[in-house]
A and B are shown apart, each in its own frame.
Chain A
Amino acid sequence: MSESRGETLESILNELQGDIPEIEACAIVSVEGLPIVSALPADVDEAKLAAITAAMLTLGEKAAIELGKGELEQVSVKGSDGWVLVVQAGLNACLTVSTTANVKIGLVHIDVKQAASKIATMI
């Protein structure tokens, strides 16, 4: 059963990367910071991406609470070479996506939110 669930989660990530080729890496990470499923290039370490996700969640949650922004939904980081997005996928997991700089970020937001909604029903 867990195997089929894993395949389904993987297919969501594969679909996301198929739709937006500028997505270099994506992973589903538990809110505790443990990797669940990922689709990563060889040079990206799954544990590292999970750790980065955990750190972003911690800081994002603190910012949301301290500044009265309610429950955390998303954390975005933009560097000169691309974006990192962490989006809540239900109560137990989040979806982390790393993109190149030339991506249409609005499109990424739409697709990532749709993927996160699907993941939320499965975890």
Chain B
Amino acid sequence: MRKDDKGRIHFKIVFYGPSLGGKTTALRWLYAKVEGLQKGEFTSIEDETNRTLFFDYAPMSAGGRVLFDVFTVAGQKRHRHQRKVVLQGADGIIFVADSSPDQREENVESFEELKMFLGDALGREIPIVVMLNKRDLPNRMSREEMLDLLGLGGNVPIYETIAIQGVGVKRAFQAISREVILKRLYK
């Protein structure tokens, strides 16, 4: 959380998760389609194939003096250092898990990495919601299988999403925004 020179409060929300899991798609959908949020300019640092190299960024405002600085990380394994940098100062995390069975290990690795970077703060000082994305895949993993895989109990809000169609994305974003505001603004 930071205050800018106009007295506005900024909260940093980061989409985290394995490569090609739908982080950028979810942010782009929020940016392009969601009414009720005022948005600034969308910034993306990506390669020539539109893969995120460092981060995507879009500022969004839900009300007068509160702004959400929303980032995605680059999911590819080689961008580990960049992910650590983007996580600095995060107020809330949306973890985007890929429902494709061949992404089983990538989901686990990414989630373990997130837990390692944030330590005990994850889920305590820094709230998290999880998107189980690509629920339209015919061979998708079951919700239970994915929660087992990630070691998630009942304390983390879970949203089944189809980022490319926007299904569930807004709900997940509203949930993390609310958690962050509850944790930081009304503590």
- Closest chain B CB from A117 CB (angstroms): 16
A47, A65, A93, A123: the one within 8 Å of B186 (CB): A47
**How many pairs of A and B residues are in contact by the CB < 8 Å rule?**
57
Is the C-beta of A57 less than 8 angstroms from some C-beta in chain B? yes
Is the C-beta of A51 less than 8 angstroms from some C-beta in chain B? yes
Is the C-beta of A81 less than 8 angstroms from some C-beta in chain B? no
Known: A36-B63, A65-B158. Contact between A92 and B178, CB under 8 A? no
Query: For residue A30, which residues in chain B have a CB less than 8 angstroms away from its CB?
Result: 36, 62-63
Query: For residue A33, which residues in chain B have a CB less than 8 angstroms away from its CB?
Result: 177-178, 181-182, 185-186
Interface size class of chain B, counting residues whose CB lies under 8 Å from the partner chain? 10 to 19
- Closest chain B CB from A13 CB (angstroms): 17
Is the C-beta of A104 less than 8 angstroms from some C-beta in chain B? no
Query: For residue B36, which residues in chain A have a CB less than 8 angstroms away from its CB?
Result: 30, 91-93, 123
Contact with B along A48-66 (1 / 0, CB 8 A): 1011001101100110011
B35, B158, B179, B181: the one within 8 Å of A34 (CB): B181
B158 near A54 with CB under 8 A, answer no
CA distance A35 to B154 in the complex (A): 29
Known: A32-B174, A32-B178, A61-B175. Contact between A51 and B186, CB under 8 A? yes
A58 near B186 with CB under 8 A, answer no
Write the chain A residue with the least CB distance to B170.
A91
Query: For residue A57, which residues in chain B have a CB less than 8 angstroms away from its CB?
Result: 178
CA distance A51 to B182 in the complex (A): 6
CA distance A62 to B178 in the complex (A): 13
B63, B170, B178: the one within 8 Å of A58 (CB): B178
- Give the B-binding residues of A (Cβ under 8 A): 30-36, 47-48, 50-51, 54-55, 57-58, 61-62, 65-66, 91-93, 123
